[in-house]
Amino acid sequence: MGFFKSIKLYNFRNFDKFSIDFSKNCNVFYGNNGSGKTNLLEAISLFSKGRGLRKDKISNFIKHDCEEFQINSEFCNSEIIYNLFSGSKIYNNKPKKIISVNNDKTKETLENIYNLLPFLFFVPDFERLFVSSPSNRRNFIDQFIFSYDSSYNKLINQYNKFIQERSNLLLNNKLDEIWLEQLEKKISEYGIKIYRSRANLLSSLIENLNIYLRSFNLNNVINVKLNDSFYEKHIDLNKFQAELKKNRTIDSYTGGSKIGPHKSDFIFFLNKDYLVSQLSTGQQKTLILLIYLSHCKFIIDVKKKQPILLLDEICSHLDDINRKILLTLVESFDLQIFMTGTNQNLFSFLSTNTNFCNIKIR
């Protein structure tokens, strides 16, 4: 099991200097709004690829009137201690995030630590998963895939890059046929990989979710429908390329691409035909928590990874069944979990082994 032992912050968000030691199991940060609880979760998340929990600009991580931020942490895995560093440096007049492991910034070393740090995030916006936009559901599912496949983010970024390059050619009437065909081939290859990754994730997720529904005596069945007319045609590489070529004219007017996994939506149903989006807020929260429970089981049992959970403001809409599910998530797996809330009493259902820390406004 990998876990963070401690963290030290310098000029990060509202923190000037701050340090804290962690339990290798459950950690709860509580305090008033604006005290920095979410900022602390965000600092931990910056040891992953990308821009962290809230996907913010690097410049916004830096405390006001400071030039750069620094985060130091000790991470333990298989009795080996890694000294992790995340911070910012100015390149071409813009702050850029940098990461090192034991002062080593090589790509190979960073990839190794990314594989040891499969993060899984929860932010309050996810409570509206079933009623929010299709892009939010796509991002939610992509985050789950990225939690066990650190290369998936690159796949998504490359796909979007090829879509944009093709769009620029079409919008500027630069009809280089050879280059267009190469781009459309790449878009098709990457798009099919994304479709398949999402389908595989959802298959395992729904299977585990329905098992947990029965175990909690919630006598319902969840299924999910992919709302994507193009993918439902059982496309292959040649069909994908042919459809992209066919759509060049309309795409030259609208930009982007009319088809592809960036257009997909995922509609969740209860007992075949009742939209999950029509359930009460508390019932939707139940399913969200069960989704996290189901995914943790999948990552641990199938992918043989142990995710680190960052759960921000997780305690809203917690009735008895939701407390039981969250407690099961904490106690069923040997995982390090970080949670935030405004009051320690919100977490009274957790075991006495939980590490509580009162974060005060700085």
* pLDDT at res. 326: 95
Work out the percent of the chain whose per-residue pLDDT is above 70.
Answer: 99
Residue 116 has pLDDT above 70, yes or no: yes
Average pLDDT, the chain: 93
- pLDDT-derived band at 1 (thresholds 50, 70, 90) equals confident
Average pLDDT over residues 213-229: 94
Average pLDDT over residues 201-223: 95
Residue in the structure block whose two tokens are 């049992």: 301
pLDDT tens digits along 269-292: 999 899 999 999 999 999 999 999
DSSP symbols for 265-278: EEEEEETTTEEGGG
pLDDT tens digits along 252-273: 999 999 999 999 999 999 998 9
Within 8 A by CB and 6+ apart from 270, the residues are 220, 221, 222, 276, 279
| Cβ contact 284:268 at 8 Å | no
pLDDT tens digits along 157-196: 999 999 999 999 998 876 788 999 999 999 999 999 999 9
* pLDDT at res. 233: 67
Q: What are phi and psi of 284, to 5 degrees?
A: -65, -40
pTM comes to: 0.94
Whole-angstrom distance, CA of residue 282 vs CA of residue 305: 30
pLDDT tens digits along 325-339: 999 999 999 999 999
* pLDDT at res. 92: 87
C-alpha distances (whole Å) from 259 to each of 17, 138, 267 are 49, 15, 18
Residue 362 has pLDDT above 70, yes or no: no
C-alpha distances (whole Å) from 59 to each of 20, 41, 66, 96, 248 are 24, 17, 10, 8, 38
| Cβ contact 212:206 at 8 Å | no
- pLDDT-derived band at 137 (thresholds 50, 70, 90) equals very high
Whole-angstrom distance, CA of residue 147 vs CA of residue 121: 9
* pLDDT at res. 175: 74
* pLDDT at res. 316: 87
pLDDT tens digits along 6-59: 999 999 999 999 999 999 999 999 999 999 999 999 999 999 988 889 889 999
Long-range contacts of 76-83 (CB under 8 A, 24+ apart): 76/2, 76/3, 76/4, 76/5, 76/24, 77/1, 77/2, 77/3, 77/116, 78/2, 81/5, 82/113, 82/116
